[in-house]
Structure 1
Amino acid sequence: MSSGAVASMFWVDAELGSDIYLDGIVTVVDSKYGLKHLAEEKAGGLINEATRQVALADLIIINKTDLVPEEDLSQLRTAIRYRIMNGSINGLGKILETQRSRVDLSNVLDLHAFDGLSGISLQKKLQYVSATQPHLDQNIITVTFEAPGNAKEESLNVFIQNLLWEKNVRNKDGHCMEVIRLKGLVSIKDRAQQVIVQGVHELYDLEETPVSWDDDAQRTNRLVFIGKNLDKDVLKQLFMATVTETGKQRTTHSKEGQVCP
């Protein structure tokens, strides 16, 4: 089962009082076969499942490092670090190397990747994510941008829902955008706290962080998207509509009733 599908099962509202909550997504990469799976090309432009799982991860564990030559391990490290250094959401997390899955649990638990605590250091980390970069699977890219201003919550929800739920947002070439994951910090109008936005496939959430905006500082929204057929200019244009007085969302790139297949 896809890690995104599993995440949606456990990413529940804290107010429900569940004893189970989504702490983060951990992807284990096999040292011997990982590079082969990451480089695999799918017919019909489908997203490589191994690449999808790495793109979704908050923590990547490279396992069985003792079973492969150093040269092979170095190639795998390079492939994964290429994603991280060139803009993957994983650049906000970390990589561990292990043998027989032996790892200090303090490095795996309490990631707080899906709650307000993750926003404390997210502001600084987002500054090091490249604006637009491809992954090893060229079908998947990471897009990030900044936009000043205060978003209206209702308009922001429409922006996210058009991408994740309605799936009616297209790039300049007319191809449907598919968002695998999104993460960022946004400024919501009339809210003093920074708000973290998280999204995995069709699931998303807005949650206040413990961090307040400085009274004398310009509020800047920072967003990161990982997915297929993403267009930075179109995404930024649609997002900017949430921080204008009109809040107008309809553009030639987002049309009601034109759902992507």
Structure 2
Amino acid sequence: MQKKGKFDYILLETTGLADPGAVASMFWVDAELGSDIYLDGIVTVVDSKYGLKHLAEEKAGGLINEATRQVALADLIIINKTDLVPEEDLSQLRTAIRYRIMNGSINGLGKILETQRSRVDLSNVLDLHAFDGLSGISLQKKLQYVSATQPHLDQNIITVTFEAPGNAKEESLNVFIQNLLWEKNVRNKDGHCMEVIRLKGLVSIKDRAQQVIVQGVHELYDLEETPVSWDDDAQRTNRLVFIGKNLDKDVLKQLFMATVTETGKQRTTHSKEGQVCP
């Protein structure tokens, strides 16, 4: 702390029980206020010996356990201490996490690394650009490989993704996101409240030449232009990924089509004013 001038990079380590979303939101707000510090990404370290146990932990009232929430919010997942467990146990953990990642049951966008004693190449950890416009370049490719997960209406966190053609009106897009993150009045077909803890996607905004990345963590979200322009002769397509609980792909897509795209209707039966989810 005695170094004069600016720091090159800050790595903030939280406790094993911390909610990374709350910490991320704090730095995200600072960036919007003109701070020199900006949020680069979220890294979650999974213990090889106890990882499966922590991910499977059940909490009272159907609450999301800390380990699952940390994996769901991560831009990078590091499986650590791989040398301290038998290969069979490591294989089970590896298979479980990769299954959940690749099939979108927790986090369809997270990258996985395996290591011992947390030794990783810093180029894989620093400069992730997961929360700024530069991430739109790599996000375009990632979204093509995220599974279009079918809804599982239970207590587990899953990833839901869909595509929708057309241009979004920015005002209507804000209303759609605010109903999900702020008003919390969106329910699935069974009447359960949808809880979105991470939102990411690329959208086409009417009268904008650049692709726009949308990011959301808990109640905070942001729209930012990327360096990538839409091709003049290509059809514009919106690609969105939601990570959360009780998510319903059909309902989310219906809401998006009804309130955002220019050809959609302006009403839906799945969100009602004044009916806030507990």
After superposing the two structures, state which structure 1 stretch, 110-119 or 137-146, moved more: 137-146
8 Å CA contact 1:115–1:207 kept in 2: the answer is yes
1:161-203 deviation digits (Å, cap 9, x = unpaired): 0000000001111111000111110000000000000111111
1:114-156 deviation digits (Å, cap 9, x = unpaired): 0000001211211111111579996222111100000000000
1:82-123 deviation digits (Å, cap 9, x = unpaired): 111102674434211121112221110000000000001211
How far 1:51 sits from its partner (Å)? 0.9
SS of the aligned residue for 1:162 comes to: helix
- 1:94 aligned residue (97, 102, 111): 111
How far 1:47 sits from its partner (Å)? 1.4
State the TM-score, normalized to the length of structure 2: 0.87
SS of the aligned residue for 2:134 comes to: helix
Moved over 6 A (4+): 134-137
How far 1:243 sits from its partner (Å)? 3.8
Structure 2 alignment gaps of length 5 or more: 1-20
8 Å CA contact 2:80–2:115 kept in 1: the answer is yes
For these two proteins, the number of residue pairs brought into alignment is: 258
After superposing the two structures, state which structure 1 stretch, 80-89 or 156-165, moved more: 80-89
1:22-68 deviation digits (Å, cap 9, x = unpaired): 10010010111111001112222211221111011000011111111
Aligned twin of 1:62: 79
Aligned twin of 1:173: 190
Say yes or no: does 1:52 pair with 2:69: yes
Q: What is the CA–CA distance in structure 2 between the aligned matches of 1:114 and 1:126, rounded to whole Å?
A: 15
8 Å CA contact 1:185–1:223 kept in 2: the answer is yes
User: CA, structure 1 residues 245+185, in 2 after alignment: closer, same or farther (shift >3 Å)?
Assistant: closer
How far 1:242 sits from its partner (Å)? 3.5
Q: What is the CA–CA distance in structure 2 between the aligned matches of 1:35 and 1:46, rounded to whole Å?
A: 18
RMSD: 2.0
User: CA, structure 1 residues 166+138, in 2 after alignment: closer, same or farther (shift >3 Å)?
Assistant: closer
How far 1:13 sits from its partner (Å)? 6.1
8 Å CA contact 1:180–1:200 kept in 2: the answer is yes
User: CA, structure 1 residues 133+203, in 2 after alignment: closer, same or farther (shift >3 Å)?
Assistant: same
User: CA, structure 1 residues 243+230, in 2 after alignment: closer, same or farther (shift >3 Å)?
Assistant: same
Q: What is the CA–CA distance in structure 2 between the aligned matches of 1:215 and 1:89, rounded to whole Å?
A: 36
Say yes or no: does 1:8 pair with 2:25: yes
State the TM-score, normalized to the length of structure 1: 0.93
